[in-house]
Amino acid sequence: MLYLKILSKFSIINICVFCFCLSGGSRCLVLITVGLGVICVLLLVFIILLHITITAERDLIKSYKNTVEEFKQTINSLQDNYTDLTQKNLVLETKYKDLTTEKDQLQSNFSSLNQKKLELESRVTSLSDELQKEESKLRNLCGPVCFFMSTELSWSDSRQYCRDRGADLVIINTDEKQVSFERVWIGLSDREDEGNMKWVDNSTLKQGFWLNGEPNNQGGNEDCIELMPSNPVLNNWNDLPCSVERKWFCEK
């Protein structure tokens, strides 16, 4: 606008000069030429300034466009990040729920195991009491020098086990020793002389506590003697093949 105002003023001046020249002759041509030259110069300056202004505005617009594009890219990046974080949040929430469920399950398992532990402790206490009772029975059976084995072996292997430990299979010489809560070998056999029962200390049997019909040497090879707790205390001896595996009592 400033440029247009300047040009308008010079146009008015030129008109005045032209009117003056109508009355002035050759000098008037010089003035007209000078005026036109000035106008050309001003037009050139105007064009240059206009070009500079347009170029600057174009660069500014380009800069604005670049800024807007950067903003768009930033917004898109933030949107992508938001979407990614939202997805991760969903995954974390799912994991949290799974872990919570697992925690509840573990807590339930812990409670169940703790209950089983208490039951086992109670069972151990009960078994300990039973063990003490059985130990008391053993002490009544053959005193502190007697011990009971819970594994099963043949009569010969059972005796060898006892002898390796400075003992031998138990000799029944009192009614109290007749008490047993398992089928066990005792130190009596007729292996060396059929029908002649002897204890492991080579003493001859004086009194037996046989089942009805025993010893019967069934099959011709029943030479070793066991106690059978399911029968009356004074009738619980039975002859068996010595190869049969039974539990046993050792006595020092």
Average pLDDT over the chain, rounded to an integer? 82
11 vs 42, more confident: 42
Per-residue confidence (pLDDT) for residue 2, from 0 to 100: 47
Q: Is 133 helix (H, G, I), strand (E, B) or coil?
A: helix
The confidence score (pLDDT) of residue 130 equals 77
Domain chopping of the chain, boundaries = 154-251
Residues 243 and 157: their CA atoms lie apart, in Å, by 9
154-251: CATH architecture: Roll (3.10)
Residue 188 β-bridge partners: 199
Of 114-118, 136-140, 211-215, which gets the smallest average pLDDT? 136-140
Radius of gyration of the chain (CA): 62
Give the separation between CA 141 and CA 217, rounded to whole angstroms: 27
Q: Which residues on adjacent β-strands are paired with residue 204? A: 198
- Residue 37: pLDDT band (50, 70, 90) is confident
Tens digit of each residue's pLDDT (9 = 90 or more) over 193-239: 888 999 999 999 988 889 888 899 888 899 999 988 776 777 889 99
Residues 66-110 have pLDDT tens digits of 889 898 999 999 998 999 999 999 999 999 999 999 999 999 999
CA atoms within 13 A on the CB side of 227: 24
The pTM of the full predicted model, rounded to 2 decimals, is: 0.47
Do you know the residue count of the chain? 252
